[in-house]
Structure 1
Amino acid sequence: MRGAPAGACVLGAVQLGLGVALVSSPRRVVALIGADHDAATRIGARVLGARLIGQGAVVATTRRVGVHQLSALVDAVHAVSMVALAACSSQRRRAAAASGALATVAALASAAIAARAEHAP
């Protein structure tokens, strides 16, 4: 097998793109989902964006199954933390729900990529 497993380049590119958008224009991204864009939300968006840039670059370029499993775990933990935030903060509920939903999709995609790569010849 050469390069990243099937689907990893697409997932990594999506993560990179979202990460760049969150870092460079957090107010616009947060406004797109209809959430409050106060200073704390913008800072959180930028931190998440930085993580997504790093994660996306690694996901798109590695074939190591363990890295894709770790990526799935990171996104799953993020999704669970967003459920907790949505439950505790009505002000941040919309942003947490959107972020949690995206993290859930990314976790499932990374898990599928890892499973497929694990069984590849």
Structure 2
Amino acid sequence: MAFLRLPAAPVALRPPEPPPSGSPERISEPRRGGIRHNSREDIMPFVNIRIVKEVIAADPAGKKADIAKKVTAAIMDATGLSNDDVWVVFEEVNARDWYVGVTDVETLRKG
């Protein structure tokens, strides 16, 4: 069995190399609950939720707020971070633009 060898990602797409071990910029002192943070970029979970627009059409602001509250609470519970450390972003997608296999969600919802 032969394997296809893909070229390396361009330098701009590669994650940055961490500072050397023992470097003062590598890790700061513990901030909350013994969690150590990278001083160059605080640990801040970023939750991106893609949701079918029609599913939340009746009350989009209320439903997004409820989902964000529950997702944030789950992350806080699992990590010990505060709610200000959790970012939640919603992307609404039209049902006709979201596919499950070869069928769009608009068609699936019609049954």
TM-score interval, normalised by the smaller of the two chains? under 0.3
TM-score (norm 1): 0.26
Higher helix share goes to which structure? 1
Higher strand share goes to which structure? 2
TM-score (norm 2): 0.28
Higher relative contact order (CA 8 A, sep 6+): 1
